[in-house]
Chain A
Amino acid sequence: MPDHRGVLAALIPMDSPGPYLHWGVIQISVANLVVIVLMLLVFVLALFLRFPGRHDDGSQR
Protein backbone atom coordinates (compact mmCIF):
# COMPACT_ATOMS: atom_id res chain seq x y z
CA MET A 1 0.00 0.00 0.00
CA PRO A 2 1.56 3.35 -1.00
CA ASP A 3 2.43 5.77 1.77
CA HIS A 4 0.23 8.80 1.04
CA ARG A 5 1.63 10.60 4.07
CA GLY A 6 5.01 10.77 2.33
CA VAL A 7 3.45 12.50 -0.67
CA LEU A 8 1.55 14.91 1.57
CA ALA A 9 4.63 15.63 3.67
CA ALA A 10 6.56 16.50 0.51
CA LEU A 11 3.93 19.12 -0.34
CA ILE A 12 3.28 20.49 3.14
CA PRO A 13 5.96 20.64 5.88
CA MET A 14 4.17 18.68 8.62
CA ASP A 15 7.04 18.33 11.11
CA SER A 16 7.43 22.03 11.78
CA PRO A 17 5.06 24.64 13.23
CA GLY A 18 2.63 26.14 10.71
CA PRO A 19 3.48 29.55 9.24
CA TYR A 20 1.94 32.68 10.80
CA LEU A 21 1.24 36.09 9.34
CA HIS A 22 1.98 39.16 11.46
CA TRP A 23 0.41 42.58 10.95
CA GLY A 24 0.95 44.86 13.92
CA VAL A 25 -0.82 43.41 16.92
CA ILE A 26 -2.69 40.98 14.69
CA GLN A 27 -1.26 37.54 14.04
CA ILE A 28 -3.02 34.65 12.35
CA SER A 29 -1.93 31.25 11.16
CA VAL A 30 -2.02 30.70 7.42
CA ALA A 31 -4.24 27.65 8.00
CA ASN A 32 -6.88 29.72 9.84
CA LEU A 33 -6.67 32.48 7.24
CA VAL A 34 -7.23 29.94 4.44
CA VAL A 35 -10.35 28.61 6.24
CA ILE A 36 -11.73 32.16 6.73
CA VAL A 37 -11.13 33.03 3.06
CA LEU A 38 -12.84 29.77 2.01
CA MET A 39 -15.85 30.57 4.23
CA LEU A 40 -16.14 34.03 2.67
CA LEU A 41 -15.87 32.52 -0.81
CA VAL A 42 -18.57 29.91 -0.11
CA PHE A 43 -20.79 32.62 1.45
CA VAL A 44 -20.54 34.81 -1.66
CA LEU A 45 -21.12 31.82 -3.96
CA ALA A 46 -24.19 30.84 -1.91
CA LEU A 47 -25.63 34.31 -2.49
CA PHE A 48 -25.13 34.39 -6.24
CA LEU A 49 -25.24 30.81 -7.54
CA ARG A 50 -28.60 29.72 -8.88
CA PHE A 51 -30.35 27.06 -6.82
CA PRO A 52 -31.32 23.96 -8.85
CA GLY A 53 -35.03 23.78 -9.62
CA ARG A 54 -35.61 27.50 -9.13
CA HIS A 55 -37.57 29.27 -11.84
CA ASP A 56 -37.34 32.92 -12.81
CA ASP A 57 -40.89 33.54 -11.66
CA GLY A 58 -39.92 32.26 -8.23
CA SER A 59 -42.06 29.15 -8.32
CA GLN A 60 -40.85 25.74 -7.23
CA ARG A 61 -41.17 22.41 -9.00
Chain B
Amino acid sequence: MTAAGDERMWTARLRRRAVSALPPEQLLPDRQPAYVSSWIYVFGVLSLASLLVVLVTGVVLALAGPQWYHVSGTGRFVNSLHLWSVELFFFTMVIHLWGKFFMAAWRGRRALTWVTGAVAFLGSIGTAFTGYLVQSNFDSQWIAGEAKDGLNSVGIGAFFNVLNYGQMLLFHVVLLPLVLGVLIVWHVLLVRRRGVVPPYEQAAAAQAGTAGGHRADAESTVDSTVPVGQKQEVAG
Protein backbone atom coordinates (compact mmCIF):
# COMPACT_ATOMS: atom_id res chain seq x y z
CA MET B 1 0.00 0.00 0.00
CA THR B 2 1.46 3.35 -1.00
CA ALA B 3 0.97 6.60 0.86
CA ALA B 4 0.19 9.89 -0.83
CA GLY B 5 3.34 11.47 -2.23
CA ASP B 6 5.19 8.16 -2.54
CA GLU B 7 5.17 8.44 -6.31
CA ARG B 8 7.41 11.51 -6.01
CA MET B 9 10.09 9.63 -4.06
CA TRP B 10 13.35 8.88 -5.87
CA THR B 11 12.71 5.13 -5.62
CA ALA B 12 9.37 5.46 -7.42
CA ARG B 13 10.85 7.77 -10.07
CA LEU B 14 13.79 5.40 -10.63
CA ARG B 15 11.40 2.44 -10.87
CA ARG B 16 9.21 4.22 -13.41
CA ARG B 17 12.27 5.12 -15.50
CA ALA B 18 13.58 1.55 -15.36
CA VAL B 19 10.24 0.04 -16.37
CA SER B 20 9.86 2.65 -19.11
CA ALA B 21 13.37 2.00 -20.48
CA LEU B 22 13.12 -1.78 -20.22
CA PRO B 23 9.47 -2.90 -20.21
CA PRO B 24 9.17 -6.46 -18.78
CA GLU B 25 7.15 -7.64 -21.80
CA GLN B 26 10.09 -6.65 -24.04
CA LEU B 27 12.72 -8.16 -21.74
CA LEU B 28 10.99 -11.55 -21.74
CA PRO B 29 8.52 -11.72 -24.64
CA ASP B 30 6.25 -14.72 -25.13
CA ARG B 31 6.47 -14.68 -28.93
CA GLN B 32 8.87 -13.42 -31.56
CA PRO B 33 8.27 -12.23 -35.14
CA ALA B 34 7.93 -15.11 -37.62
CA TYR B 35 11.11 -14.15 -39.49
CA VAL B 36 13.11 -15.23 -36.43
CA SER B 37 12.27 -18.85 -37.39
CA SER B 38 15.60 -19.29 -39.17
CA TRP B 39 18.82 -21.02 -38.16
CA ILE B 40 20.79 -17.81 -38.72
CA TYR B 41 19.04 -16.29 -35.70
CA VAL B 42 20.20 -18.98 -33.25
CA PHE B 43 23.91 -18.15 -33.23
CA GLY B 44 23.58 -15.25 -30.80
CA VAL B 45 22.03 -17.43 -28.13
CA LEU B 46 24.51 -20.23 -28.93
CA SER B 47 27.30 -17.73 -28.23
CA LEU B 48 25.67 -16.88 -24.91
CA ALA B 49 25.33 -20.58 -24.01
CA SER B 50 29.01 -21.17 -24.82
CA LEU B 51 29.96 -18.12 -22.77
CA LEU B 52 28.05 -19.51 -19.80
CA VAL B 53 30.14 -22.71 -19.95
CA VAL B 54 33.30 -20.58 -20.27
CA LEU B 55 32.35 -18.63 -17.13
CA VAL B 56 31.37 -21.66 -15.04
CA THR B 57 34.49 -23.66 -15.96
CA GLY B 58 36.62 -20.54 -15.46
CA VAL B 59 35.28 -20.11 -11.92
CA VAL B 60 36.04 -23.79 -11.16
CA LEU B 61 39.60 -23.40 -12.53
CA ALA B 62 40.14 -20.24 -10.48
CA LEU B 63 38.90 -21.91 -7.31
CA ALA B 64 40.99 -25.09 -7.69
CA GLY B 65 44.19 -23.62 -9.16
CA PRO B 66 46.86 -24.87 -11.58
CA GLN B 67 48.13 -27.59 -9.23
CA TRP B 68 44.75 -29.22 -9.81
CA TYR B 69 43.94 -28.44 -13.44
CA HIS B 70 47.40 -29.29 -14.76
CA VAL B 71 47.78 -32.54 -12.83
CA SER B 72 44.56 -34.37 -11.98
CA GLY B 73 42.38 -36.05 -14.58
CA THR B 74 39.27 -34.12 -13.55
CA GLY B 75 41.23 -30.87 -13.52
CA ARG B 76 42.54 -31.44 -17.02
CA PHE B 77 39.02 -32.28 -18.17
CA VAL B 78 37.64 -29.00 -16.77
CA ASN B 79 40.63 -27.17 -18.27
CA SER B 80 39.78 -28.69 -21.66
CA LEU B 81 36.10 -27.81 -21.22
CA HIS B 82 37.20 -24.19 -20.65
CA LEU B 83 39.30 -24.23 -23.84
CA TRP B 84 36.74 -25.93 -26.07
CA SER B 85 33.85 -23.80 -24.86
CA VAL B 86 35.94 -20.77 -25.84
CA GLU B 87 36.51 -22.34 -29.27
CA LEU B 88 32.76 -22.89 -29.60
CA PHE B 89 32.07 -19.35 -28.34
CA PHE B 90 34.21 -17.84 -31.10
CA PHE B 91 32.88 -20.25 -33.72
CA THR B 92 29.25 -19.29 -33.04
CA MET B 93 30.04 -15.62 -32.42
CA VAL B 94 31.78 -15.25 -35.81
CA ILE B 95 28.76 -16.77 -37.61
CA HIS B 96 26.48 -14.47 -35.57
CA LEU B 97 28.68 -11.53 -36.67
CA TRP B 98 28.57 -12.55 -40.35
CA GLY B 99 24.81 -13.00 -40.22
CA LYS B 100 24.22 -9.60 -38.62
CA PHE B 101 26.69 -7.89 -40.97
CA PHE B 102 24.89 -9.13 -44.09
CA MET B 103 21.51 -8.25 -42.53
CA ALA B 104 22.88 -4.73 -41.84
CA ALA B 105 21.64 -5.24 -38.30
CA TRP B 106 22.40 -1.62 -37.40
CA ARG B 107 19.26 -0.55 -39.31
CA GLY B 108 16.33 1.00 -37.47
CA ARG B 109 18.11 2.74 -34.56
CA ARG B 110 20.11 -0.39 -33.76
CA ALA B 111 23.57 1.19 -34.21
CA LEU B 112 24.38 0.89 -30.52
CA THR B 113 23.37 -2.79 -30.55
CA TRP B 114 25.82 -3.37 -33.42
CA VAL B 115 28.60 -1.35 -31.77
CA THR B 116 28.29 -3.08 -28.37
CA GLY B 117 28.38 -6.45 -30.14
CA ALA B 118 31.42 -5.53 -32.23
CA VAL B 119 33.31 -4.15 -29.21
CA ALA B 120 32.37 -7.27 -27.21
CA PHE B 121 33.86 -9.34 -30.04
CA LEU B 122 37.13 -7.39 -29.84
CA GLY B 123 37.10 -7.66 -26.03
CA SER B 124 36.59 -11.41 -26.33
CA ILE B 125 39.75 -11.65 -28.44
CA GLY B 126 41.70 -9.86 -25.70
CA THR B 127 40.21 -12.08 -23.00
CA ALA B 128 41.01 -15.26 -24.93
CA PHE B 129 44.53 -13.98 -25.64
CA THR B 130 45.24 -13.35 -21.94
CA GLY B 131 43.86 -16.85 -21.29
CA TYR B 132 46.58 -18.27 -23.53
CA LEU B 133 49.14 -16.21 -21.58
CA VAL B 134 48.13 -17.64 -18.19
CA GLN B 135 48.20 -21.34 -19.05
CA SER B 136 51.38 -21.49 -16.90
CA ASN B 137 53.29 -23.70 -19.33
CA PHE B 138 55.95 -23.31 -22.02
CA ASP B 139 53.27 -22.60 -24.62
CA SER B 140 52.10 -19.48 -22.76
CA GLN B 141 55.72 -18.38 -22.30
CA TRP B 142 56.36 -18.62 -26.04
CA ILE B 143 53.10 -16.81 -26.90
CA ALA B 144 53.96 -13.99 -24.46
CA GLY B 145 57.43 -13.59 -25.97
CA GLU B 146 56.05 -13.38 -29.50
CA ALA B 147 53.13 -11.12 -28.50
CA LYS B 148 55.47 -8.69 -26.74
CA ASP B 149 57.23 -7.97 -30.03
CA GLY B 150 53.96 -7.77 -31.94
CA LEU B 151 52.29 -5.39 -29.48
CA ASN B 152 55.42 -3.21 -29.20
CA SER B 153 55.59 -2.98 -32.99
CA VAL B 154 52.06 -1.51 -33.14
CA GLY B 155 52.76 0.92 -30.31
CA ILE B 156 50.54 -0.39 -27.51
CA GLY B 157 53.17 -2.32 -25.58
CA ALA B 158 53.71 0.57 -23.16
CA PHE B 159 50.28 0.23 -21.57
CA PHE B 160 50.62 -3.36 -20.33
CA ASN B 161 53.23 -6.07 -20.21
CA VAL B 162 52.26 -9.45 -21.60
CA LEU B 163 55.33 -10.97 -19.92
CA ASN B 164 53.96 -9.90 -16.51
CA TYR B 165 52.13 -13.05 -15.44
CA GLY B 166 50.36 -11.45 -12.45
CA GLN B 167 49.07 -8.55 -14.55
CA MET B 168 47.85 -10.85 -17.32
CA LEU B 169 46.18 -13.18 -14.82
CA LEU B 170 44.24 -10.26 -13.30
CA PHE B 171 43.37 -9.01 -16.78
CA HIS B 172 42.05 -12.47 -17.65
CA VAL B 173 40.04 -13.30 -14.53
CA VAL B 174 38.87 -9.84 -13.36
CA LEU B 175 39.27 -6.83 -15.63
CA LEU B 176 38.36 -8.19 -19.07
CA PRO B 177 35.51 -10.48 -17.89
CA LEU B 178 33.98 -7.48 -16.09
CA VAL B 179 34.21 -5.29 -19.20
CA LEU B 180 32.94 -8.12 -21.39
CA GLY B 181 30.10 -8.88 -18.97
CA VAL B 182 28.90 -5.27 -19.01
CA LEU B 183 29.12 -5.10 -22.82
CA ILE B 184 27.26 -8.36 -23.36
CA VAL B 185 24.48 -7.56 -20.85
CA TRP B 186 24.13 -4.13 -22.50
CA HIS B 187 24.07 -5.77 -25.95
CA VAL B 188 21.36 -8.28 -24.95
CA LEU B 189 19.24 -5.57 -23.30
CA LEU B 190 19.48 -3.48 -26.48
CA VAL B 191 18.43 -6.47 -28.58
CA ARG B 192 15.41 -6.87 -26.32
CA ARG B 193 14.65 -3.15 -26.32
CA ARG B 194 15.01 -2.53 -30.06
CA GLY B 195 13.87 -5.98 -31.22
CA VAL B 196 15.54 -8.29 -33.73
CA VAL B 197 16.34 -6.59 -37.02
CA PRO B 198 13.72 -7.43 -39.70
CA PRO B 199 14.66 -8.77 -43.17
CA TYR B 200 15.32 -6.12 -45.86
CA GLU B 201 12.11 -6.90 -47.76
CA GLN B 202 9.95 -6.60 -44.68
CA ALA B 203 11.58 -3.30 -43.70
CA ALA B 204 11.06 -2.01 -47.26
CA ALA B 205 7.39 -3.04 -47.14
CA ALA B 206 6.99 -1.23 -43.84
CA GLN B 207 8.72 1.80 -45.32
CA ALA B 208 6.35 1.80 -48.28
CA GLY B 209 3.46 1.69 -45.84
CA THR B 210 4.84 4.65 -43.88
CA ALA B 211 3.84 7.63 -45.98
CA GLY B 212 6.59 10.21 -45.84
CA GLY B 213 8.28 8.34 -43.01
CA HIS B 214 12.03 8.26 -42.58
CA ARG B 215 13.61 4.97 -43.66
CA ALA B 216 15.18 4.30 -40.27
CA ASP B 217 11.82 4.85 -38.60
CA ALA B 218 10.14 2.40 -40.97
CA GLU B 219 12.75 -0.23 -40.22
CA SER B 220 12.45 0.22 -36.51
CA THR B 221 8.66 0.05 -36.50
CA VAL B 222 8.41 -3.30 -38.28
CA ASP B 223 8.51 -5.26 -35.07
CA SER B 224 7.95 -2.57 -32.50
CA THR B 225 4.42 -1.70 -33.62
CA VAL B 226 3.34 -5.28 -34.18
CA PRO B 227 2.25 -6.78 -30.88
CA VAL B 228 4.47 -9.59 -29.66
CA GLY B 229 2.96 -12.86 -30.76
CA GLN B 230 1.23 -11.52 -33.82
CA LYS B 231 2.00 -13.60 -36.89
CA GLN B 232 3.91 -11.89 -39.64
CA GLU B 233 4.57 -12.89 -43.20
CA VAL B 234 8.10 -13.99 -43.89
CA ALA B 235 9.58 -12.00 -46.71
CA GLY B 236 11.02 -13.78 -49.70
Contacts and interface: CB of A to CB of B under 8 A. Distances in A.
Interface of A: 35, 38-39, 42-43, 45-47, 49, 51, 53-54, 57-60
Nearest to B32: A60
Contacts of B87: 35
Contacts of A38: 91
Contacts of A45: 39
Interface string B52-90: 000000000000000000000000000000000001000
B233 A46 contact: no
Given A58-B233, A59-B34, A46 B91 contact: no
Contacts of B40: 43, 46-47
A35 B91 contact: yes
B232 interface: yes
B37 A43 contact: no
Contacts of B99: 43, 46
A25 to B, nearest CB: 16
B231 A49 contact: no
Contact of B95 (A43, A58, A59, A60): A43
Contacts, number: 48
Interface in B23-57: 31-32, 34-35, 37-40, 42-43
Interface residues of B, number: 20
A22 to B, nearest CB: 19
Nearest to B42: A46
B95 A39 contact: yes
Shortest 7 CB-CB contacts between residues of A and residues of B:
A58-B234, A46-B39, A54-B37, A59-B231, A46-B40, A58-B34, A51-B37
Interface string B105-131: 000000000000000000000000000
B31 A46 contact: no
A58 B43 contact: no
Contacts of A51: 37-39
Interface string B208-236: 00000000000000000000000111100
Given A42-B91, A46-B99, 9 more contacts: A38-B91, A39-B95, A43-B40, A46-B40, A46-B42, A54-B37, A54-B234, A58-B37, A58-B234
